[in-house]
Amino acid sequence: MSLLVTGTIAIDSVKTPFGEQDECLGGSATYFSVAASHFTPVRLVGAVGEDFPDEYLKVFDGRDIDTSGLEKRAGSKTFRWKGSYQGSMNEATTLETQLNILTEDPPVIPESSRDSECVFLANTAPAVQIQLLEQLTAPRLIVADTMNFWIENTREDLEKLLQKVTALVLNDTEARMFTGQSNLIAAAREIVEMGLEFVVVKKGEHGTLLMTNNDECFVLPAYPTDAVKDPTGAGDSFAGGMMGFLDQQSDINLPTLKKAIAYGTVVASLVIEDFSLNRWQTANRNDIDKRLNQLRDVITF
Amino acid sequence: MSLLVTGTIAIDSVKTPFGEQDECLGGSATYFSVAASHFTPVRLVGAVGEDFPDEYLKVFDGRDIDTSGLEKRAGSKTFRWKGSYQGSMNEATTLETQLNILTEDPPVIPESSRDSECVFLANTAPAVQIQLLEQLTAPRLIVADTMNFWIENTREDLEKLLQKVTALVLNDTEARMFTGQSNLIAAAREIVEMGLEFVVVKKGEHGTLLMTNNDECFVLPAYPTDAVKDPTGAGDSFAGGMMGFLDQQSDINLPTLKKAIAYGTVVASLVIEDFSLNRWQTANRNDIDKRLNQLRDVITF
C-alpha cells in the first residue's frame, strides 16, 4: 500500500527520573514516521512554525520519509510541550502546552499523497481528523488515535469519526472513560461496536490489547525492560511499527494484526530507551527483528 | 513430590458490582487446595474455630485433599473477612477483619505431612511462616506469599524468610513497595537477589511476571475475560495451579515454571467467574486445559 501520517511535529521539553532534555524534537507524526520507516515508505503531513530549527529535520535524513507534506508556516510558532514523568512513568504530567500552530488551519495533504491507502490520523480534534481524511481519494486502512480531551469534550465528533475509520488506538484509561466499562475487554468490545473493524488498547508497561469486530482478542505484554529513560512517543512509535508492518501486508487479518502489534511493541520498547528520537541514531531493523524474537521467547510457554 | 499448603480457612463476606455473598467459604489455604487438587494430591494445614460450619468442608469432598491438618479448635472463632470491589476490581477494599483464631498459636503440621517436599506458605506473618517451615523434614520447593503489612512492619523477619525459601509470590504494588523500584523488572530482579531462585509478581488484570536468579524473565497476560464476578482468591488459586503443576514435574526449570504460571493464570481466571469457590462445582481439569490452549492462542503471534 502506501502509508501516510497526519500529526504534530513538536518541540518537547521532558524531565524523567533519568535526566532531562530541553527543546528536543517530538510530535506524534515525527515519532510515527521514523518508526514506520523501518518497514515501509512514509508520507508525513504536519506543520511547524518559522521558529522550527531546520537541523531537527536531520532525523528524517536517509530514511524513506516523504516530507513534502511538512509545511513550514511563516508567521507561526511550532507546537511545544513540556512534561515530566515520575515513578513507574506510566503517565506524563504536562507542565506546559503551547498549542501555537495547532490552533490554526491544519496542514493540507499534498496532491501527490492523496492516493495513500494506509493512513494514521494521529491524535487531534476528531473534526480535524475527519477533514484530513476527506482529502484522501482511496484510503483502505485508516487508523485514528485519540485522547481523553476529545472523549470528554467532542464525543459526537469522535463517534462520527469512528464511522469513517477502520480502527482506533487509545490507552486503557481512555477506553474505560469512553465506555464507562471498568473491565477492559468489555470496554474494547463496546468501542469496536461503535463501527470499527478493530481497536487497540495501549496499557503502557502492561502491554496491549487487540479486539476485532469478530470478537477475536489478542493480548501482548510490553517488552520487559528496566532500561526506560523517556516514555514520550511510545504510543506513536507503537502505531508507527504496527502500521508500517501492516502497510506491507497483502491482507489485514488476525495473524497480520497480531504480528503488527508485536512489531509496534518492540519498536516502542526501543524508542523509550533514550530521550526524544535519539535511540534511532543506532537502532535499526535488525535490532527490531531481534527484539521481536526475544519478545516471542519471553511470552512462550 | 508431595504438596502441602499452610494458610487460612476463612468465612468471607464479599460485595462486587456483580452481586454479594454473605458468610461464604474463603481463605488462602481453601482456594489454594482446591485449585492445586486438579493437578496433584494436596495436604492442607490450617485452623478454624468451633463456629465453622461443617457443611463448608464439602468443597473438599471428592478431591484429593488431605484435611488431617485442618484443625477445628474448641473455644476459638474462625477468621472472618469482609470486603468489597469496585470498578476494575483490581484491589479489594477491606470493610472488616476479625482475626480471631489467627491471633492464637498457628496450627501444627501433622507428623504424616512433615515429609512434604513441595510447600506453599500462604500469606501470614513471616515469623509464623518460618515456624511452620521448621516443622518440615525434607522441603525442596518452598514458595511463600506475603503482603504489604509484613513488608512495612516485619521486614527483617521477611528478609530472614527469603533466606529459607525457594521463591516468593507477591503483587506489583508490594514488589514496588518492598524495593522502592518503580520499574517492575528492576523490582523483581532486586527481590530475587535477596536470596531466591525466582519471584512471581502478580499484576491482577495485567497478568504475571516471573524473574529467576539466572535473570530469565517470563511475562504472561491474564486470560482475557469480561466474566469476572469476584476476584477474591485469585492469587491463592493462581498459586495453587502453579504449585499443583510444579509438584508433578521432575525438574523445576524455566520451561516448567512458564507452564506452571500459565496453569496458575487460567485456574485463577476460572475461580473469579463466580463468588467463593462456586466455580469449582462445575469446572474441572478439562476446562483448565482447554483454557490453557485458548490463552496460548490469544498471546501467540
| CB-nearest partner of A182 from B87, B258, B298 | B87
Give the pLDDT confidence of B250-298 residue by residue, as tens digits. 999 999 999 999 999 999 999 999 999 999 999 999 999 999 999 999 9
**Are A69 and A113 within 8 A, CB to CB?**
yes
User: What crossing angle do the helices spanning B254-271 and B234-247 adopt, rounded to 10°?
Assistant: 140
Does residue B171 register a pLDDT over 90? yes
A298 and B182 within 8 Å at the Cβ level: the answer is no
- The C-alpha cell at A107 is 496542514
- Which of A203, A245, A301 is the mutation pick for testing B, counting most B CBs within 10 A? A301
Q: Which residues of chain A have pLDDT under 70?
A: none
Residue A116: predicted pLDDT? 97
Contact at CB, A88 and B299, closer than 8 angstroms: no
- pTM, 2 dp: 0.94
Q: Which chain A residues contact residue B225 at CB under 8 A?
A: 185
Task: Give the residue, B186 or B89, on which the prediction is more confident.
Answer: B186
pLDDT of residue A165: 98
Q: Distance (Å, rounded) from C-alpha B211 to C-alpha B188?
A: 6
Candidates B183, B228, B255; nearest CB to A228: B183
Q: A66-115 pLDDT, tens per residue?
A: 999 999 999 999 999 999 998 878 889 999 999 999 999 999 999 999 99
pLDDT at B87: 82
Are the beta carbons of A301 and B255 separated by less than 8 Å?
yes
Compute the nearest-CA separation of B68 from chain A (Å): 35
Q: Identify whether the C-beta of residue B93 lies closer than 8 Å to the C-beta of residue B83.
A: yes
User: If you average pLDDT over residues B184-205, what whole number do you get?
Assistant: 97
Contacts of A232 (CB under 8 A, 6+ apart): A12, A14, A26, A83, A92, A272, A275, A276
- pLDDT over 90, % of chain B: 97
* A261 with B301: Cβ contact below 8 A: yes
Residue B133: per-residue pLDDT: 97
- What integer is the mean pLDDT of B64-93? 94
Rg over alpha carbons for chain A, rounded to the nearest Å, is: 18
Identify all chain B residues contacting A185, using CB atoms and an 8 Å cutoff. 224-226
Q: Which residue of B has its CA nearest to A176?
A: B88
Is the separation of the CB atoms in B223 and B265 below 8 Å?
yes
Please answer yes or no on whether B298 and A183 come within 8 Å at the CB atom. Answer: no
- Examine the pLDDT at B91 and tell me if it is beyond 90: no
- Tell me the DSSP string of A47-86: EEETTS-GGGGGGGTTSSEEEEEEEEETT----EEEEEE-
Q: Which residues sit opposite A84 in a β-bridge? A: A15, A93
Q: What is the DSSP letter of A105?
A: P
CA B89 – CA A106 distance, rounded (Å): 42
Distance (Å, rounded) from C-alpha A275 to C-alpha A13? Answer: 10
pLDDT tens for each residue of A110-147: 999 999 999 999 999 999 999 999 999 999 999 999 99
- Out of B189, B205, B207, the one facing A221 most closely (by C-beta) is B207
Give Rg (Cα) of chain B: 18
pLDDT of residue A88: 78
Q: Label the pairing between strands B208-212 and B217-220.
A: antiparallel
DSSP conformational letter for A182: S
Q: Which of these, A31, A29, A34, lies nearest to A5 by C-alpha position? A: A29
Q: Give the list of residues 6+ apart from residue B35 with CB closer than 8 angstroms, or none.
A: B236, B237, B238, B239, B240, B241, B244, B264, B267, B268, B271
Q: What is the DSSP letter of A218?
A: E
Percent of chain B with pLDDT over 70: 100
Residue A103 makes CB contacts below 8 A (sequence gap 6+) with none
CB atoms within 10 A of CB B77: 17
Q: Quick check: B241 and B271 in contact, CB under 8 A?
A: no
Mean pLDDT, to the nearest integer, of B167-182?
96
Distance, in Å, from the CA atom of A33 to the CA atom of A46, rounded to the nearest integer, reads: 11
Contact, A222 vs A294, CB < 8 A?
A: no
Residue of chain B with shortest Cα separation from A220: B299
Candidates A189, A261, A301; nearest CB to B262: A301
Q: Which residues of B touch A299 (CB under 8 A)?
A: 218-220, 299
